[in-house]
Amino acid sequence: MNEKLPWYKRLVNFLRDVRSELKRVTWPSKQEVYGTTVIVIITVFFFGFYLFFVDVLFSWIIAQIKLLIG
C-alpha cells in the first residue's frame, strides 16, 4: 500500500483494530478487582507509615548529630 490513506480512513481502521483487540482482552472478575484494590490500599498505608517513621528516625539522628557538633 504505497499511497497514503486519508486521515478518516486511517481513523476508521484504527478504531476497527481497537475494537477487535478489546474483544480478545480477558477482563478480571469483580472479586479479583476488589481483592487487588484492597491489597494496594493496605500496601500504600504500610509504606506510608514505614517511610514516616524512617523519616522521624533520621530527623532525630540528624538533630542529635547537630547537637554533638555544635
Please give the chain's pLDDT, 70 residues, in tens. 547 889 999 999 999 999 999 999 999 999 999 999 999 999 999 999 999 999 999 999 999 999 999 7
> How far is the C-alpha of 10 from the C-alpha of 5, rounded, in Å?
6
Amino acid letter for position 27: W
Predicted local confidence at residue 4, as pLDDT? 86
**Sign of the Cα pseudo-torsion (56, 59, 65, 66, in order):** negative
> How far is the C-alpha of 63 from the C-alpha of 61, rounded, in Å?
5
The pTM score is 0.62
Predicted local confidence at residue 55, as pLDDT? 98
